Amino acid sequence: MIIVNEHAREFHLQTQNSSYIMKVSPSGHLLQVYYGRRLRHQSDFSALHQQFVSPISGTPCYSKAHPNFALETACVELGTSGKGDFREPALHIEHGDGSRVTDLVYKGYELHDHKVPLPDLPHAIDPNGEAQTLAITLHDTVKAVQVVLYYSVFPYVDAITRSQEVTNQGEESITLERALSFTLDFTHQNFELLSLEGKWANETQLNRRSLSKGVTSIDSKRGVSSSNHNPFLTLVEPSANENNGRCYGFALIYSGNHQAMAEVSPHGLTRVQLGINSFDFRWPLAPGEGFSTPEAVMTFSDKGLNRMSQNFHGFINRHIISPRWQNRLKPVQVNNWEATYFDFNESKLLRLAKKAKKLGVELFVLDDGWFGKRDSDSSSLGDYFDHKTKLPNGVTGIAEKIRDLGLEFGIWVEPEMISEDSELYRKHPEWAMTCPDREPSLGRNQLVLDMANPEVVGYLFAQLCDVFRRTKTSFVKWDHNRNFSDVYSRHLSKDQQHGYYHRYMLGTYDLLFRLQAEFPDILFESCSSGGNRFDMGMLFFMPQTWTSDNTDAVERMSIQYGTSLVFPLNTMGAHVSGRPSHQVLRITPIETRFNVAAFGALGYQLDLTRLTHFEERAIKEQIAWYKQHRQLLQYGRFYRLESPFESNHAQWMVVSETGEEALVGYYQKLQESNRGYERLYPQGLNVEQDYTIETRKQYMNIRQFGELVNGEIPMINLKDRGVFHGIVANRYLQEVDAEIYQLNGDALCYGGLPLKPQFNATEWTEHFRFIGDFGSRIYHIRAKDNDA
Ligand code: GLA
């Protein structure tokens, strides 16, 4: 709800659990009054206003008429520079006369009973008509520049989106030197900053640090939002943890260069800002022209990080994912990449598909290597015609055969890239992102296409339409495998080069808008060497993202844990891969690989035609079980319980809307000797209900027991590593002892579930759990009345 106190010139934005209050100061500036837990509405919030009662030495006062008011110490709604605010600005303009002072004051507001759309950029949507938008117009006191600040309120997910639109209403051209999406100022500095950082195969690592005076900045200058710094940050009070404490989360709905800053001023105010990176950004605005920034979303939780993440998850599921894909179950896929890499032919793929079908897989995704003469990563990007040696019947032929097997067909493309060794490059070298007279630096042997050139966008649209149509594909994996270098467009004028990174994104988004309209039934998966572009901008077009090229189960515990800070499970591509892990050479149990991947959009990415009998049976049961619980696994309310960043274990869970059913993932890195007692503390259940807790039926490979096999497992005499041991290990499914517990909801939630102790070097009985190195369990919790 948005309430305006006309007389007091105050705006109160209310969500279910938060309030955001602004006011117009006597000087006309729009000031931030309060952001936090929801407040009852009052006709006047002046008791909360900042007091400006005397001038501050060393700080310019705003004007003779307002001698006690200093912008430097005010909580403003949009930081500008030139009138005494020395903090980083959100908007910086060079005016026609070369002056660079901007002073914005209040002009008026408009209230809309809907979400106002944002042109040309991905943005929050509101298919169920839940949102309201407040548009506040500011104008410069001298120059003919107008800024509209948009605030859209999404009450059920405690989120508010913000963006600004700058219009040049004067006679001369102006230049935007910086245009971030929002400013939010707090009057104190009692915060820590939590962000997601990483690198290839090591995405979304948690980084929590104290703030101190000065600017802490995280950004991307790579052309993509990047795995190095996700366009997201949280300010948390120092004592906040997963379940307690105040957290302010911010994320950008954008996929290009971004910049986030948390700044503590000399007077102990904290400013947070997020938007397009101002590095290498200048945007000329001719008379009459306007510029809209991407939207940022902010959410407040006073119940710790879990609630903040649930707000983000709800926001993404209801207001970012296209309505066509909201709440739709993601298919179980097999992807041939780690099974074959570039080395495949039609019969190899069909064997893989047949086996996948037998195991219960629903979608076959043909990865890289099906086009041009692409037998390695050094050629053919841009040439989306059939690789006839590998696929004599073309991609259309294999697609048909896959469908005949009863599987859906999906295909990999990397449209924004070009190989030097390609027909496209030979024809259009000027379409590549390269600088005149400089040898371009290659990344993965390839160059980036100039997406700021509408001819390139048009070419790609035609090519992709052709591929998608003739293969009748129902799934597209859209890759983007290098960061930018040699940034220059041969299509743009000299003046436009400064905004190239953003123009690239506008071109890419234009292509995606067109494809989304043309192929609404295709499920797109975004990928950028894994999670190098995992952001809400891409999710707007593509309801899931390939979380990481690292499919090792242990590494994935951290990557998926970190990713869950912002992104819901149904958006995270998560695959079971082979042994050892192709990224880290670690061997983990097939059941753990599944138990981790099950909390995501599940897939298999290994050579299914070479499975042992043990693996085959385990996988068949995994897929059947996943399908049975898929709704909960993809859309349940998610809680992080134990952090792999701080512990030898990871735990997380999903719970149904009613709290009657839940699944807990429990993961161990290394087995510890003589370990103490463990309890499971689930969240989100109903204290007044009684629950049964049971482990998912899973299997152990007796190879794990080596020479202890005969002592620990009652079985005919086996010689460790003997031929017979191998045969039995590959065929025999040793069921893990089922754990079954019964507990009242209140005891379960408040007291925690005492788990059976782990194996302790003594004996193997049903009283112990044998988890072992890289072992795991999934606990299924059901309210007793619901027991089938
Ligand atoms: C990237 C992706 C992988 C795979 C390869 C194909 O690395 O992240 O999943 O698709 O490209 O070249």
Instruction: Give 515-529 pLDDT, tens digit per residue.
Output: 999 999 999 999 999
Q: Quick check: 739 pLDDT over 80?
A: yes
Residue 530 Cβ < 6 Å to ligand 1: yes
Residue 379 near residue 397, CB atoms below 8 Å: no
Give yes or no: residues 287 and 388 share one domain: no
Residue 771 lies in a domain: yes
Name the domain boundary from 260, 289, 319: 319
Q: Report the CATH number that the domain containing residue 427 is assigned in CATH.
A: 3.20.20.70
Closest residue by Cα to atom 12, ligand 1, is 368
Q: What is the torsion angle, in degrees rounded to the nearest 10, for the CA atoms of residue 113, residue 326, residue 465 and residue 384?
A: 130
Tally Cβ neighbours within 10 Å of residue 784.
14
Ligand 1 mean position, distance from CA 482 (Å): 11
549 lines ligand 1 (CB under 6 A): yes
Question: What's the pLDDT band for 715 if we cut at 50, 70, 90?
Answer: low
- Ligand 1 atom nearest to CA at 477: 10
The pLDDT assigned to 734 comes to: 86
Residues 468-500 have pLDDT tens digits of 999 999 999 999 999 999 999 999 999 999 999
Ligand 1 centroid distance, CA of 479 (Å): 7
Is residue 480 a known part of a binding site?
A: yes
Domain-terminating residue out of 602, 631, 660: 631
The answer as to whether 326 is a domain residue is no
Q: Tell me: pLDDT of 787 over 60.
A: no
Which atom of ligand 1 approaches the CA of 527 most closely?
8
Cis peptide before 440 (omega within 30 of 0): no
On whether both 312 and 362 belong to a single domain, the answer is: no
**Which atom of ligand 1 sits closest to the CA of residue 367?**
10
State yes or no: 478 annotated in a binding site.
Answer: yes
527 C-beta closer than 6 A to ligand 1:
yes
Q: Does the beta carbon of 337 lie inside 6 Å of ligand 1?
A: yes
Q: Is 481 in the pocket of ligand 1 (CB under 6 A)?
A: yes
The ligand 1 atom at the shortest distance from the C-alpha of residue 377 is: 12
Mean pLDDT calculated for residue range 48-54: 93
Position 36, amino acid: G
Using the 3D structure, point to which of 256, 289, 319 is the last residue of a domain. Answer: 319
Are 597 and 711 contained in the same domain?
no
Chain centre to alpha carbon of residue 349: 31
- Segments forming the whole domain that contains residue 170: 2-319
**Ligand 1 centroid – CA 481 distance (Å):** 7
pLDDT of residue 133: 98
- Average pLDDT estimate for 218-243: 98
301 and 395 inside one domain: no
- pLDDT at 788 (0 to 100): 46
Return the pLDDT at 732: 83
Is the pLDDT assigned to residue 255 strictly greater than 70? yes
485 within some domain: yes
Same domain, 672 and 576: no
Q: Quick check: CB of 545 below 6 Å from ligand 1?
A: no
The CATH number of the domain holding residue 727 is: 2.60.40.1180
For ligand 1, the distance from its centroid to the CA atom of residue 530, given in whole angstroms, is 7
CA of 245 to the centre of ligand 1 (A): 39
Is 510 among the domain residues?
yes
Residue 156 lies in a domain: yes
Q: Is 368 marked as binding a ligand?
A: yes
Q: What is the pLDDT of residues 121-166, one digit of tens each?
A: 999 999 999 999 999 999 999 999 999 999 999 999 999 999 999 9
Is the domain of 625 the same as that of 668?
no
200 is in an annotated binding site: yes
CB-CB contact of 146 with 163 (8 Å): no
Query: Is 642 within the bounds of a domain?
Result: no
Structurally, the chain folds into a number of domains equal to: 3
Q: What's the whole-number average pLDDT of the chain?
A: 96
C-alpha 368 to ligand 1 mean position (Å): 7
Confidence band for 712, pLDDT divided at 50, 70 and 90: low
Same domain, 347 and 444: yes
Cite the beta strand spans of 403-554 per DSSP E.
408-413, 417-419, 446-448, 475-478, 523-526, 544-546
Q: Is 529 in the pocket of ligand 1 (CB under 6 A)?
A: yes
Q: Report pLDDT for 96.
A: 97
With contact defined as beta carbons under 8 Å apart, do 644 and 650 qualify? yes
Is residue 444 annotated as involved in ligand binding? yes
Q: Is residue 641 assigned to a domain?
A: no
Report whether 787 belongs to an annotated binding site: no
> 718-728: per-residue pLDDT in tens?
777 788 888 88
H or E element at residue 628: helix 613-635
Residue 717 has pLDDT above 90, yes or no: no
Q: How far, in Å, is the centroid of ligand 1 from the Cα of 379?
A: 14
Q: How far is the CA of 31 from the centre of ligand 1 (A)?
A: 47
One domain for residues 440 and 386 = yes
Mean pLDDT throughout 339-359? 98
Nearest CA to ligand 1 atom 1: 529
- Note the pLDDT of residue 720: 79
The answer to whether residue 274 is domain-embedded is yes
- Report the pLDDT value the prediction gives residue 761, as an integer from 0 to 100: 81
What are the residue ranges of helices labelled H in 414-499? 423-427, 454-471
SS (H, E, C) 391-408: CCCHHHHHHHHHHHCCCE
Kindly report which listed range (231-240, 431-440, 699-708) carries the lowest average pLDDT score.
699-708
Phi and psi at 640, nearest 5°, equal -85, 130
Q: Which residues are catalytic?
A: 479, 549
For ligand 1, whether the C-beta of 338 sits within 6 Å is no
* 24 closest CA partner among 42, 47, 6: 6
CATH classification of the domain holding 244: 2.70.98.60
The answer on 298 and 338 residing in a single domain is no
Q: Is 678 in the pocket of ligand 1 (CB under 6 A)?
A: no
The per-residue pLDDT for 420 is: 98
For Cα atoms 214, 217, 221, give the angle at the middle one, nearest 5 degrees. 150
Would you state the pLDDT for residue 714? 60
Return the best residue to mutate from 199, 333, 381, 481 for the ligand 1 pocket (most ligand atoms within 8 A of CB).
Answer: 481
Is 477 annotated in a binding site? The answer is yes
427 and 552 in a common domain: yes
Mutate to test the pocket of ligand 1, among 344, 368, 538 (most ligand atoms within 8 A of CB): 368
In angstroms, the CA 387 to CA 716 distance is: 53
pLDDT at 713: 63
Residue nearest to atom 7 of ligand 1 (CA): 529
| Nearest residue by C-alpha to atom 6 in ligand 1 | 368
- For residues 211-237, give the mean pLDDT: 97
Same domain, yes or no, for 389 and 280?
A: no
Nearest CA to ligand 1 atom 11: 529
Tell me the CA–centroid distance for residue 250 and ligand 1, in Å.
Answer: 29
Instruction: Ligand 1 pocket test: pick from 367, 374, 377 the residue with the most ligand atoms within 8 Å of its Cβ.
Output: 367
* Predicted confidence (pLDDT) at residue 15 exceeds the cutoff of 70: yes
Residues 410, 448 within the same domain: yes
- The least confident of 182-196, 210-224, 706-720 is 706-720
